[in-house]
Amino acid sequence: MALNVCFIALQLKHYWHENPERVSCDISQIAAELKMSRRTLQRKLKEENTCYLSLQDSARLDLTMTFFAAGKSVSEVSETLGFANRRCFTRAFKRWTGESPKTYKK
């Protein structure tokens, strides 16, 4: 018996790593790119005990750390990841890590 398991969460993380500008897309846009309905994507993620927003936050944090390590500024990271402005990014970063991006980069 062949085991054919397709982990949507891993696919999304890989997709966002390759296309960081798409991490800001909503679930309907990503579902369309994966050629499935929004509801199907939600159901598959639920089967993997996760949800779109938590995966999106995790990917944004991972990408942020990668960009900071590459020397990108807070403004560049904020813009690349699709935040409305730098302040929104700073608030999200504090929620993820407990400290500001400026403090983290030091």
Query: pLDDT tens digit string along 50-61?
Result: 999 999 999 999
Report, as an integer, the average pLDDT of 85-101: 95
The tokens describing 77, both together, are 């990271």
What is the crossing angle of helices 52-69 and 8-18, to 10°? 30
Categorize the per-residue pLDDT at 40 as very low, low, confident or very high, splitting at 50, 70 and 90: very high
DSSP state of 37: -
Which pTM does this prediction carry? 0.85
Mean pLDDT of 75-97: 95
Q: What is the mean pLDDT of the chain?
A: 91
- Please give the pLDDT value at position 105: 82
- The predicted structure's pLDDT at residue 63: 96
User: What single-letter DSSP state applies at residue 22?
Assistant: G
User: Dihedral of the CA atoms 52, 68, 102, 91 (nearest 10)?
Assistant: -10
7 HSE (CA, 13 A, CB side): 8
